[in-house]
Amino acid sequence: MTVNRQIQLASRPQGEPSADNFKLVDTTLPALAEGQVLVRNHYLSLDPYMRGRMNDGKSYAQPQPLNEVMIGGTVGEVVESKNANFKPGDKVVGMGGWQEYQLVDASQRGVLQKVDTTHIPLSAYLGAVGMPGVTGWYGLVKIINPKAGETVVVSAASGAVGGAVGQLAKVRGARAVGIAGGADKCRYVVEELGFDACIDYKEHKDVKSLSAALKAACPNGIDGYFENVGGMILDAVMLRANAFSRIAMCGMISGYNGEPIPMTAPQLILVNRMKVEGFIVSEHMEVWPEALKELGTLVATGKLKYRESVADGIAAAPEAFLGLLKGKNFGKQLVKLI
């Protein structure tokens, strides 16, 4: 019998989550039934959306059940198959969760996708050529839709989603300005990812200061904003936004622990005739093939850069996740399982 180690949600957080909300459990895997595939997960993905799933409140997705394996994206290798569409050695991406193995009924459409690792590293299918990359692509292309010469601002710019947004904006001839926390992250955003500028929000204690920095970095104002954070950063961007600007609302990490997120000048939405649109990338599966084709080509040809923070072993997942929520990661946060 194969032992499968997994992280389960033990309790719902009251405010800020802690390691005590998780537990490491050993389970044994049953023998394969017809149609099933056993996958050894190589990497699991840690993403901010998981914080919302830990709560029991109403949201766009069902809450993470207690005493069950944490939900999440994985990439790995088929080790055993009783399904004609998969054979041992196939590299696959799926929603295997925080565990070393996943046993799935692969006859269900879309549960496992085979991926080609000839020119794209396996781990990239959880980042730049996966859900984060497609999230960035959708918000930029379908909501902001920048024209050449326009200015696009991205918060959490050094992360997996934000980094893709800025580089995709540059491909389309737009000016890309990032907002990130710390000098090292800002240097990376400009020097490695190719953004035109990056503002360190940690250097600005209030909206007025951050707005002045945005004015200097965006002399022609802001035409598009990709929102990952909310709070003071959103307020500062609103003050510099142009008429007919577009905001893609992707995440509001400043309120993930239940804090209120007031907006100081919502009248600017009217004054500037702004479009503000929230989106969940899994509700737009029709665009994934187009997005993944562009992202995969850019990564394979070295034109889309990304960075990964990698924690080692399944037991490290909770602390790595808590660090992600505090911005301790640099780029895409993964856990290496093999």
From the list 79, 68, 10, the residue with the least C-alpha distance to 338 is 79
Half-sphere exposure of 200 (CA within 13 A, CB side): 9
**Buried/exposed 295-324: b ≥16 CB within 10 Å, e otherwise:** bbebbeeeebbbbbbebeebebbbebbbbb
Helix (H) or strand (E) holding 37: strand 36-45
DSSP letters of 309-322?
EEEESGGGHHHHHH
How do the domains of the chain map onto residue ranges?
A: 3-127+306-336, 131-282
Q: Which CATH class is domain 131-282?
A: alpha beta
From the list 25, 14, 16, 64, the residue with the least C-alpha distance to 322 is 16
β-bridge partners, 177 = 153, 197
Beta-carbon count within 10 A of 219 CB: 8
Tokens 């965006």 sit at which residue? 218
Amino acid identity at 311: A
The pLDDT of residue 60 is 75
pLDDT tens for each residue of the chain, 338 residues long: 789 999 999 999 998 999 999 999 999 999 999 999 999 999 999 999 999 899 988 777 789 999 999 999 999 999 999 999 999 999 999 999 999 999 999 988 889 999 999 999 999 999 999 999 999 999 999 999 999 999 999 999 999 999 999 999 999 999 999 999 999 999 999 999 999 999 999 999 999 999 999 999 999 999 999 999 999 999 999 999 999 999 999 988 888 777 889 999 999 999 999 999 999 999 999 999 999 999 999 999 999 999 999 999 999 999 999 999 998 999 999 999 99
The pLDDT of residue 252 is 87
* Cβ atoms 43, 94 nearer than 8 A: no
| CATH code for the structural domain at 3-127+306-336 | 3.90.180.10
Beta-carbon count within 10 A of 94 CB: 19
Q: Under the phi-then-psi rule, with left for phi > 0, alpha for psi from -120 to 50, and beta for the rest, what region is 40? A: beta
The pLDDT of residue 62 is 84
Chain centroid offset of residue 201 CA = 20
Q: How far apart are CA 51 and CA 63, in angstroms?
A: 10
Beta-carbon count within 10 A of 327 CB: 18
In three-state secondary structure terms, 72 is coil
The pLDDT of residue 107 is 86
Q: How far apart are CA 269 and CA 244, in angstroms?
A: 9
Amino acid identity at 274: M
CA dist list (Å): 174 to 23, 200, 314: 46, 21, 40
Structure tokens given for 197: 């500028």
Q: How far apart are CA 79 and CA 338, in angstroms?
A: 13
- Taking the chain, what is the end-to-end CA distance rounded to the nearest angstrom? 19
